């Protein structure tokens, strides 16, 4: 395998992870009918009853709610990382629309099997600020207000940051194709969430 160490300089980034804990809370709240209850006491009773049905305690449900609020993927030392699946996702999206002159032998189906990507680790532990916007609900004309923490620079807040990771593939020739695709992915396609709103762009500053 041919391996390179890569450093990205990202203008900004939003992770917007969907944790298993969030899904568990949604299921409990939906099945409990908590939103139909008129008082806090009855809401808690409904949630406790549903927790009991699902074999967990109400206290565990409250812990899950806190876990679901986490805005970032992190490594064991608590530093924010751009996870490998978001880097790979940006690359696969890029490859799916790229001409063969750029993507070489890669396609959407084979890329993840041919190229190994690590998480990209930052030196950040805290968010820069919060990005808020109205989001159109699927299958409806209604809009809801959504907020996500971001890192990096947006408007007059923050500054660009760097993230480092490792990429491996068959040989140096194939790695040059990966580099060309990654350049397009981080400069044009974007990584992470809210890419249509301008987040998740950057550039390669080191390739060794």
Co-location of 92 and 113 in the same domain: yes
pLDDT of amino acid 43: 93
Question: Quick one: average pLDDT of 151-170?
Answer: 97
Co-location of 185 and 139 in the same domain: yes
β strands within the chain, DSSP E: 2-10, 12-13, 73-74, 80-82, 116-117, 120-122, 129-136, 143-152, 161-169, 202-207
Q: Give the pTM.
A: 0.88
Where are the alpha helices (H) located in 98-148, listed in sequence order?
100-103, 111-114
Question: Quick one: average pLDDT of 147-171?
Answer: 97
Q: How many domains does the chain have?
A: 2
Average pLDDT, the chain: 95
pLDDT of amino acid 136: 79
Name the pLDDT band for 4 (thresholds 50, 70, 90).
very high
Give the other-Cβ count within 10 Å of 195's Cβ.
Answer: 16
Name the pLDDT band for 179 (thresholds 50, 70, 90).
very high
pLDDT of amino acid 139: 75
Residue 140 has pLDDT above 80, yes or no: no
The domain of 162 spans 2-17+72-207
Co-location of 42 and 83 in the same domain: no
Co-location of 112 and 40 in the same domain: no
Co-location of 84 and 185 in the same domain: yes
Least confident segment among 63-72, 114-123, 138-147, 189-198:
138-147
**What does the alpha-carbon distance between residue 69 and residue 14 come to, in Å, rounded to a whole number?**
14
- Of 68, 87, 103, the position where a domain reaches its end is 68
Query: Tens digit of pLDDT for each residue in 39-79?
Result: 999 999 999 999 999 999 999 999 999 999 999 999 999 99
Name the pLDDT band for 134 (thresholds 50, 70, 90).
confident
Query: Tens digit of pLDDT for each residue in 5-29?
Result: 999 999 999 999 999 999 999 999 9
Contact 56, 20 (CB under 8 A): no
Q: What CATH number is associated with residue 91?
A: 3.30.70
Residue 190 has pLDDT above 90, yes or no: yes
């Amino acid at each position: 395998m041919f391996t390179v160490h890569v450093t990205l300089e990202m203008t900004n980034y939003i992770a917007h992870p969907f944790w298993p804990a969030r899904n568990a809370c949604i299921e409990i709240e939906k099945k409990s009918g908590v939103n139909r209850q008129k008082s806090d006491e009855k809401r808690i009773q409904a949630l406790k009853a549903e927790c009991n049905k699902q074999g967990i305690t109400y206290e565990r449900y409250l812990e899950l709610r806190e876990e679901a609020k986490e805005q970032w993927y992190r490594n064991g030392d608590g530093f924010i990382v751009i996870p490998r699946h978001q880097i790979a996702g940006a690359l696969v999206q890029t490859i799916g629309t790229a001409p063969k002159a750029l993507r070489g032998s890669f396609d959407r189906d084979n890329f993840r099997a041919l190229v190994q990507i690590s998480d990209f680790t930052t030196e950040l532990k805290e968010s820069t600020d919060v990005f808020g916007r109205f989001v159109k609900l699927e299958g409806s004309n209604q809009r809801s207000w959504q907020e996500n923490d971001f890192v990096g620079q947006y408007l007059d807040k923050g500054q660009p940051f760097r993230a480092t990771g490792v990429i491996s593939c068959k040989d140096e020739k194939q790695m040059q194709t990966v580099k060309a695709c990654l350049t397009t992915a981080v400069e044009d396609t974007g990584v992470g969430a809210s890419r249509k709103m301008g987040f998740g762009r950057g550039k390669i500053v080191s390739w060794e």
